[in-house]
């Protein structure tokens, strides 16, 4: 695929995903058979999405990540210490619904490893540093997310999300696509076929498919939970503002170049929605709304990323 096509697809994704959610809901709401089929197709579609996402990761980029201690320190400090501390302070103020609190914790605690790269590129951030930080972010969140959830959640949600069923689902649906993607990268390079990370356009249509399937599979619950979910929209919007401010403060304190400051802003603002979706889908009965919280946050984040593309270059201007 051409660079022009990839860039156009990335720009149109802001409209593509809400449209996919609306289409999925219409089909699932009016035709129950579609809802049943969507539920069955969701897991393989999510596995394909994660496989396509992990194809963008280059383990060799870890060397670059460790080559700039100031940027790496800021990215790790913000994403894995300061933001989780902020979420810990936020959770007691949320509605007392354990499913909503669990959804917010799952989605906001760890950084994005997929469309973060697209928006960072569109926003003029340091693409090399963003790519280099991504595999490290994925490794750290796999280690730290269970710890964060154990420390922050009440006993009921904690036991639900850290039970054997969800951990096996997460390990399988993340571990297998990750292994397959790394194997693909290795084989393609051995055969001189180029870099499979160039298939950067693949996650966009696959993500549209996944959100459409989530919406179709949970069409009736989406209607019933609209009031509860709406309470979280201002929470997610305020998080985006706080993320941009945190990036600006850390970049200033550590005297980072503007392009690295932009990477921090897009990294702090974008959360890892669809890597934690397997956990949400494997939760026991009573927690179905968690998957909808994740999709809702992703839609608020998309609108926020549109504003980031305008605002972040002004917050981190490049002097010539």
Residues of the chain with pLDDT > 70, as a percent, come to 91
Q: CA 148 to CA 283: how far, in whole Å?
A: 17
Q: Residue 219 has what pLDDT?
A: 86
Higher pLDDT, 42 or 62: 42
Between helix 83-90 and helix 127-152 the angle, nearest 10°, is 40
Q: In the chain, which residue ranges form alpha helices assigned H by DSSP?
A: 3-30, 32-54, 62-65, 69-77, 83-90, 98-108, 115-122, 127-152, 155-161, 164-190, 203-217, 219-224, 226-230, 233-253, 258-269, 277-281, 289-315
Instruction: Assign domain 3-314 one CATH number from 3.40.50.300, 1.20.1530.20, 1.10.260.40, 3.40.190.10.
Output: 1.20.1530.20
Identify the band that residue 279 occupies on the pLDDT scale cut at 50, 70 and 90: confident
Domain boundaries, given as residue ranges, for the chain: 3-314
Rounded to whole angstroms, the maximal C-alpha distance in the chain is: 59
pLDDT at residue 100, rounded to an integer: 92
So what's the pLDDT on residue 320?
Answer: 67
Share of the chain above pLDDT 90, in %: 38
Q: Which residues pair with 111 in a beta bridge?
A: 271
pLDDT of residue 181: 85
Residue 153, CB-side half-sphere exposure with 13 Å CA sphere: 25
pLDDT at 61: 63
C-alpha dihedral over 141, 272, 305, 45, to 10 degrees? Answer: 150
Both tokens of 15, joined, read 């409209």
Q: How many CA atoms lie within 13 A of 198 on its CB side?
A: 11
Model pTM score: 0.86
pLDDT recorded at residue 33: 92
pLDDT, residue 295, reads 86
The confidence band for 106, taking pLDDT boundaries of 50, 70 and 90, is very high
For residue 254, the model assigns a pLDDT of 94
The Cβ of residue 34 has, within 10 Å, a number of other Cβ atoms equal to 18
Can you tell me the mean pLDDT for 199-219? Answer: 85
More confident call, 286 vs 316? 316
The pLDDT-based confidence of 139 (bands split at 50, 70, 90) is confident
Tokens representing residue 111 in the block: 């950084």
Asked if residue 9 has pLDDT above 70, the reply is: no
* pLDDT score of 64: 64
Task: Extract the tokens encoding 52.
Answer: 């396509």
């Amino acid at each position: 695929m051409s660079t022009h096509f990839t860039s156009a697809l990335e720009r149109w994704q802001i409209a593509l995903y809400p449209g996919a959610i609306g289409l999925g809901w219409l089909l699932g709401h009016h035709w129950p058979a579609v809802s049943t089929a969507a539920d069955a197709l969701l897991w393989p579609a999510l596995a394909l999405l994660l496989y396509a996402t992990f194809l963008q990761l280059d383990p060799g980029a870890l060397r670059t990540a460790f080559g700039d201690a100031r940027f790496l320190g800021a990215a790790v400090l913000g994403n894995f210490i300061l933001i989780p501390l902020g979420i810990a302070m936020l959770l007691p103020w949320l509605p007392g619904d354990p499913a909503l609190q669990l959804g917010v914790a799952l989605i906001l605690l760890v950084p994005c490893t997929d469309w973060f790269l697209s928006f960072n590129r569109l926003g003029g951030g340091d693409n090399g540093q963003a790519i280099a930080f991504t595999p490290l972010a994925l490794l750290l969140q796999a280690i730290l997310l269970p710890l964060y959830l154990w420390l922050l959640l009440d006993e009921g949600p904690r036991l639900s999300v850290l039970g054997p069923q969800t951990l096996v689902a997460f390990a399988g649906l993340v571990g297998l696509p990750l292994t397959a993607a790394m194997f693909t990268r290795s084989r393609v390079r051995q055969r001189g076929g180029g870099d499979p990370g160039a298939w950067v356009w693949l996650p966009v249509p696959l993500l549209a498919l996944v959100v459409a399937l989530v919406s179709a599979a949970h069409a009736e619950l989406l209607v019933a939970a609209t009031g509860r979910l709406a309470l979280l929209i201002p929470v997610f919007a305020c998080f985006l503002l706080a993320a941009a401010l945190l990036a600006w403060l850390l970049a200033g304190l550590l005297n980072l170049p503007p392009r690295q400051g932009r990477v921090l802003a897009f990294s702090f603002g974008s959360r890892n929605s669809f890597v934690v979706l397997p956990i949400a889908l494997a939760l026991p009965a009573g927690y179905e709304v968690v998957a909808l919280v994740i999709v809702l946050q992703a839609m608020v984040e998309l609108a926020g990323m549109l504003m980031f593309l305008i605002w972040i270059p002004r917050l981190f201007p490049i002097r010539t």
